[in-house]
């Protein structure tokens, strides 16, 4: 370091020291500074305390809201099943007792409870159970609750809350309200439609939006649990037609299994869900849509004396409409609480012009798939309704319906009988062919000669089958129609007191092993006897002289007996129809035998032999197949003969 640098540092230090000494405060100034510092410290501490007090107050308010909401509803926790079970008890929110309030019109009587603000029973006034008691679609048999999720992710249920009822000017309207404060409440609004089975049901939630989980605040989660009540005498038959149904928005109607447990998650928007018995159902119809639905159907391990068929459970996630001005969230539904009457259900689509928006509630009446349903809707149902509107007994209606059906298909029956007559008059010639080729290895030549005979006389051996096949859609359609025709319910005829169920003449308590029978139905016995007689007639008509498979004759007689066990539990209206149908068919068969002169038929067939024949495509293919089969058989026999010689 040189001399000049040292001199510079000394001068700088001198300046700093001199400036500090010159600016040193006096004793009075030091005292004033200390006093000001003390005041500033006190003010700062007060400011910090105020900030802490404000923060604690806000936290306390938020906790109060959360704790209040937790005690506002019943707290539940999700489980593995679709149903959520209550784990925490609800402290008494108020001291009000449960109150029951009734809304009713000419058709339905609905009872609402202030506990949960929900429906607890729905009685149909114009119907009775099979034992004569009042018919309730449900009567304290389940639950219906709104589930909300708060910010602590707790599930909050309205099921056990005591609501306050408010009657409106309309005697069939009611508002159920549970209020947390004047500006925070839940409302369930009910309105029963005059002279109808519809109950309007709206949910309105006001001022609770800030307390709920932000992701779920505008979604209503609904839990609907239901036990299907037994309404009919035949437990098995009713359970067979009891399903959970649902309809996708702008799409088809589907159903869950009726005979096994099943769970489904519907991820596509749904319009309605129905817990359907054989003849009655509660249906929840959304005004807009149900975003997601979790459905669970479980068959109860029950017997003929059980009061319930199965349990149904649904968790529905429904979008709500948010009104930012009023702070409300709302959504709407309609409950259908009534019979599965086709004309009644289809009427709800009359005012809907857009086909994609139709409810399709008529699909709840199972009339068969596609073509069978068309036959029922376009042919069977209109005729049945026309006959029943005359006021005559249902037994006579079924008789006339059967007669009309048999007249309509009589031309097909006649063609089938005529084909059998042609085969029957050719039987002597067929028997000659059988005698000409008696050996088993000549079976192919025998069959070829028989087909050549049929070709010469212009007879198609399968022509008698086609008329029978054309009748099948009507027969299957009627099999679907009778068990689901509510018009037959509790209608008597002769010894049958209810045409919608079996007509037992003998009953016992212990089921027969394997088949489980506990009764014998008289119409089913008559049907079986008539079926055996018809089988005998049919076998005589179709006997063409060709050799049949061993045991085929006894198998044909066994089938009517099998149907006895299969249809014994089905409605007597169905077995009565089958009895009439078979009886009329036998009478027609006898009539056709007198009308058709078999000698003239044979003469026409003999005359056909002289005419040049153009083989049909079917006969040509059949003969070619026979030729190939015969050649293969010859080659096989030749090979076997060569092996034996070796």
Q: HSE (CB half, 13 Å, CA atoms) of 348?
A: 22
Fold of 85-359: Beta-galactosidase; Chain A, domain 5 (2.70.98)
Helices and strands of the chain, counted as H and E runs: 16, 24
Phi, psi at residue 350, to the nearest 5°?
Answer: -65, -35
pLDDT of amino acid 53:
55
* Three-point CA angle 568, 571, 575, nearest 5°: 65
Measured CA to CA, the distance from residue 542 to residue 641 in angstroms comes to 39
- Within the chain, what is the greatest distance between any pair of CA atoms? 157
Residue partners of 373: CB distance under 8 A and separation at least 6 = 367, 477, 480
Determine contact, residues 433/446, Cβ cutoff 8 Å.
yes
- 207 Rama sector, left if φ>0, alpha if ψ -120 to 50, beta otherwise: left
Measured CA to CA, the distance from residue 84 to residue 314 in angstroms comes to 11
Decide: pTM greater than 0.85: no
All structural domains of the chain with their residue ranges: 85-359, 374-610
pLDDT of amino acid 143:
92
Determine contact, residues 493/393, Cβ cutoff 8 Å.
yes
- How high is the mean pLDDT in each 10-residue block of the chain (646 residues)? 49 48 53 53 51 50 49 41 36 64 94 94 94 93 88 82 85 90 89 93 86 71 93 89 91 89 92 95 94 92 79 93 82 95 92 83 90 91 93 94 91 80 75 72 69 71 68 88 94 93 87 79 93 82 55 74 88 94 88 79 72 58 63 65 61
Measured CA to CA, the distance from residue 467 to residue 470 in angstroms comes to 5
pLDDT of amino acid 601:
72
């Amino acid at each position: 370091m040189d001399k000049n640098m040292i001199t510079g540092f000394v001068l700088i230090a001198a300046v700093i020291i001199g400036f500090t000494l010159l600016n040193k405060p006096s004793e009075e100034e030091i005292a004033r500074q200390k006093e000001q510092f003390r005041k500033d410290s006190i003010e700062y501490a007060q400011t910090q305390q105020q900030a802490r007090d404000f923060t604690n107050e806000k936290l306390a308010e938020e906790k109060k809201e959360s704790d209040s909401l937790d005690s506002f509803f019943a707290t539940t926790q999700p489980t593995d099943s679709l149903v959520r079970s209550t784990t925490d008890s609800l402290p008494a929110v108020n001291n009000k007792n449960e109150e029951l309030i009734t809304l009713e019109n000419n058709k339905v009587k609905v009872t609402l409870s202030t506990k949960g603000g929900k429906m607890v029973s729905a009685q149909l006034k114009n119907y009775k159970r099979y034992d004569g008691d009042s018919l309730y679609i449900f009567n304290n048999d389940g639950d219906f609750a709104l589930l909300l999720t708060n910010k602590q992710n707790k599930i909050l249920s309205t099921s056990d809350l005591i609501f306050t009822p408010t009657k409106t000017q309309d005697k069939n309207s009611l508002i159920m309200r549970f209020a947390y404060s004047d500006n925070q409440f839940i409302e369930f609004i009910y309105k029963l439609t005059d002279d109808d089975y519809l109950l309007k049901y709206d949910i309105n939630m006001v001022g609770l939006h800030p307390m709920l989980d932000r992701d779920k605040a505008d979604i209503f989660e609904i839990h609907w649990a239901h036990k299907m009540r037994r309404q009919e005498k035949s437990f098995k038959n009713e359970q067979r037609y009891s399903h959970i149904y649902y309809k996708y928005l702008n799409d088809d109607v589907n159903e869950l299994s009726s005979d096994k447990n099943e769970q489904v998650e519907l991820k596509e928007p749904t319009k309605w869900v129905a817990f359907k018995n054989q003849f009655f159902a509660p249906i929840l119809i959304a005004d807009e849509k149900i975003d997601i639905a979790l459905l669970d159907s479980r068959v109860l391990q029950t017997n003929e004396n059980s009061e319930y068929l199965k349990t149904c459970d649904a968790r529905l996630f429904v979008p709500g409409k948010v009104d930012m001005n009023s702070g409300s969230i709302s959504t709407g539904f309609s409950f259908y609480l009534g019979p599965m009457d086709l004309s009644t259900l289809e009427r709800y689509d009359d005012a809907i012009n857009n086909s994609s928006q139709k409810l399709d509630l008529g699909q709840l009446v199972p009339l068969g798939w596609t073509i069978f349903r068309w036959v029922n809707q376009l042919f069977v149902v209109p005729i049945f309704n026309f006959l029943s509107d005359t006021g005559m007994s249902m037994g006579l209606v079924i008789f006339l319906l059967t007669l009309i059906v048999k007249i309509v298909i009589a031309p097909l029956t006649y063609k089938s009988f005529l084909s059998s007559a042609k085969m029957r008059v050719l039987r002597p010639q067929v028997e000659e062919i059988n005698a000409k080729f008696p050996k088993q290895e000549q079976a192919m030549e025998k069959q070829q000669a028989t087909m050549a005979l049929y070709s010469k006389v212009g007879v198609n051996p399968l022509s008698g089958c086609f008329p029978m096949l054309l009748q099948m859609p009507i027969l299957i359609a009627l099999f679907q129609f009778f068990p689901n025709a509510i018009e037959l319910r509790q209608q008597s005829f002769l010894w049958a007191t209810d045409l919608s169920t079996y007509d037992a003449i003998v009953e016992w308590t212990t089921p027969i092993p394997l088949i489980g029978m506990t009764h014998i139905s008289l119409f089913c016995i008559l049907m079986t006897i008539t079926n055996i007689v018809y089988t005998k007639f049919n076998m005589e008509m179709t006997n063409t002289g060709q050799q049949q498979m061993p045991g085929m004759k006894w198998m044909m007689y066994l089938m009517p007996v099998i149907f006895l066990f299969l249809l014994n539990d089905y409605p007597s209206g169905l077995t009565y129809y089958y009895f009439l149908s078979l009886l009329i068919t036998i009478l027609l068969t006898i009539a056709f035998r007198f009308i058709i002169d078999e000698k003239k038929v044979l003469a026409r067939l003999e005359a056909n032999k002289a005419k040049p024949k153009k083989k049909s495509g079917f006969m040509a293919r059949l003969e070619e197949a026979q030729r190939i089969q015969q050649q293969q058989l010859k080659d096989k026999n030749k090979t076997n003969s060569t092996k034996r010689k070796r």
